[in-house]
Amino acid sequence: MRKPTLALIASLLLAGLALARPAVAQAPDHPSGVAVAPPVEMPSPQEYPDPVGEKLMELENYGEAAEHYRGALKKDPDNAPACAGLGAALCQGGKPKEALEELGKCIKKMPGKSGLYAARGLCFFLGGENFSAQAEDDYKKALELDPKNAVARNELGLLFQRMGRHDLAIPEFQAAIAADPDLFVAYNNLGASLIATRRFDEAIKVLQQGIARKPPHKGFFLYQNLGIAFLYAGKLPQAEAAFLLEIALNPEHLDGYVNLGNIYLITGRYDDAVFEFYRVLVSDPDNRQALINIGIAYVKSGNAMNGGRYLKKAVELYPDSALAHHYLGLAYQSLGDQDRAAEEQAKAKKQGYNPDASTWPLKPPGP
């Protein structure tokens, strides 16, 4: 049977077509987790209205971007967007101290510019959790000066999201979208927080709204999170369609292949699952999920020899994986090595493996 075209898949997803929920596998059949797409941070034209600088930032040419913004500041020392761009380029280019110095000078000269505080907040945010308080202060100052600064709203939401405070992150992302309906990263990040709080139907609606605005999909991962929301809502056909679109639009995004493989593993399409997990391992040979799940797929398909080979490597790299130990035990059992089978099952039990813990094949993400 021919596979549906990407256009047809997209139309079905946006229509929210209701399909019958498939039978749910028991807990021992679940693959190793599902990855939610990482939050996306990206400057917007609102903050950096310079097409050349924007493009350099988008391409992650931070050194060239910094020089470009320096040139703009030489022409106009009071160009606040250029200073914000310089700070972002330096910080994302691995020069946070220099970035903070430049932004501090600009803030002293132009204390009423919201974008400068947002840029410094981003630099503190990128500095890690130890600088969360400074980032929060700067984002809130940016929003005090300009409550409709969508970029600052989105970044403050990301800060709360990283802290696990999805109750605070969600309204910030919603406010970012209200201020700038074309800030596509905010849809992605709002979807991620809704998924983390198990509000799957709301996540589906939000992500479909973002997709319907026709964003430049590459790098935004909207279909990735849409697929995860469909998956946990029990709508596996739509989840599969979303992951197919994700890897078509972002072929370098390995999580899309992992999650597509998870769908095939859940539904018993083991050859297809092996294919997707192998694609990940070609680029990332030690990928935890792909390594464990390709072993599971082989074991469940009756190929204990190949499954055991991958699972042995998995337990060496990730000895905390109860699932890997369990299926390695099953592989040894199939191969007639009862002693090693019992040893691996004991390790799985010690790591907390419990086949009766749930009737749902995947543990939903949590805050």
pTM: 0.78
pLDDT band at 34 (very low <50, low <70, confident <90, very high): low
**DSSP-assigned letter for residue 137:** H
For residue 207, the one-letter residue type is L
In whole angstroms, give the CA distance from residue 278 to residue 291. 8
When pLDDT is averaged across residues 205-231 and rounded to a whole number, the result is: 86
Residues in CB range of 312: below 8 A, 6 or more apart: 328
Residue 45 has what pLDDT? 35
In whole angstroms, give the CA distance from residue 117 to residue 103. 8
Q: Examine the pLDDT at 247 and tell me if it is beyond 80.
A: yes
Residues 176, 179, 185, 191, CA torsion sign? positive
In whole angstroms, give the CA distance from residue 208 to residue 16. 8
Q: Out of 88-102, 113-127, 273-287, 343-357, give the one with best mean pLDDT.
A: 273-287
- What domains does the chain contain, in order, with CATH numbers? 1-38+198-367 (1.25.40.10)
Which of the two residues, 217 and 281, has the higher pLDDT score? 281
Encoded tokens for 204: 């589906």
Q: What percent of the chain has pLDDT over 90?
A: 68
pLDDT band at 13 (very low <50, low <70, confident <90, very high): very low
Rg, the chain, Cα only:
23
Residue 35 has what pLDDT? 54
Residue 206 has what pLDDT? 96
Q: Examine the pLDDT at 303 and tell me if it is beyond 90.
A: yes
Q: Examine the pLDDT at 356 and tell me if it is beyond 70.
A: no
In whole angstroms, give the CA distance from residue 325 to residue 295. 11
Instruction: Residue 364: name the closest of 238, 255, 256, 231 by CA.
Output: 231
Q: Are 56 and 67 in contact (CB under 8 A)?
A: no
How do residues 111-125 score in pLDDT, each as one tens digit? 999 999 999 999 999
Q: Examine the pLDDT at 47 and tell me if it is beyond 90.
A: no
In whole angstroms, give the CA distance from residue 260 to residue 153. 32
Mean pLDDT rounded to a whole number for the chain: 84
Which of the two residues, 46 and 149, has the higher pLDDT score? 149
How do residues 182-200 score in pLDDT, each as one tens digit? 998 899 999 999 999 999 9
How do residues 116-160 score in pLDDT, each as one tens digit? 999 999 999 988 888 999 999 999 999 999 999 999 999 999 999
Which of the two residues, 328 and 56, has the higher pLDDT score? 328
Q: What percent of the chain has pLDDT over 70?
A: 82
Residue 341 has what pLDDT? 95
Q: Examine the pLDDT at 52 and tell me if it is beyond 50.
A: yes
- Which of these ranges, 30-39, 90-99, 287-296, 328-337, has the smallest mean pLDDT? 30-39
How do residues 248-277 score in pLDDT, each as one tens digit? 988 998 999 999 999 999 999 999 999 999
**Virtual torsion, Cα 268, 272, 273, 277, nearest 10 deg:** 180
